[in-house]
Amino acid sequence: MKKNMGAIDKVIRVIIAIAFSILFFTGTVEGVLGYILLALGAIFLLTSVISFCPLYAPFKINTCKKK
């Protein structure tokens, strides 16, 4: 896997993951929608950690700075 996510993209995904988690654990969003947001947050966090987004690959999107 070649990295295709830049630093700004990773930070935005982590912030979204934290926001989804807060919404779920405070009870603001409950039920099926809450679990969907929690799963999306986990996916965002995972893709941020590994710096690779599988949805970027088919569209040849690369937000990583060239060295």
Quick one: which of 56, 40, 48, 39 has its CA closest to 14? 48
Q: What is the pLDDT of residue 64?
A: 87
Measure CA 27 to chain center: 21
Note the pLDDT tens digit of each residue in 6-50.
999 999 999 999 999 999 999 999 999 999 999 999 999 999 999
- Distance, in Å, from the CA atom of 46 to the CA atom of 40, rounded to the nearest integer, reads 10
> What pTM, to 2 d.p., does this model score?
0.86
pLDDT above 70 for 67: no
Q: Where are the domains of the chain?
A: 7-50
Cα separation of 8 and 30, whole Å?
30
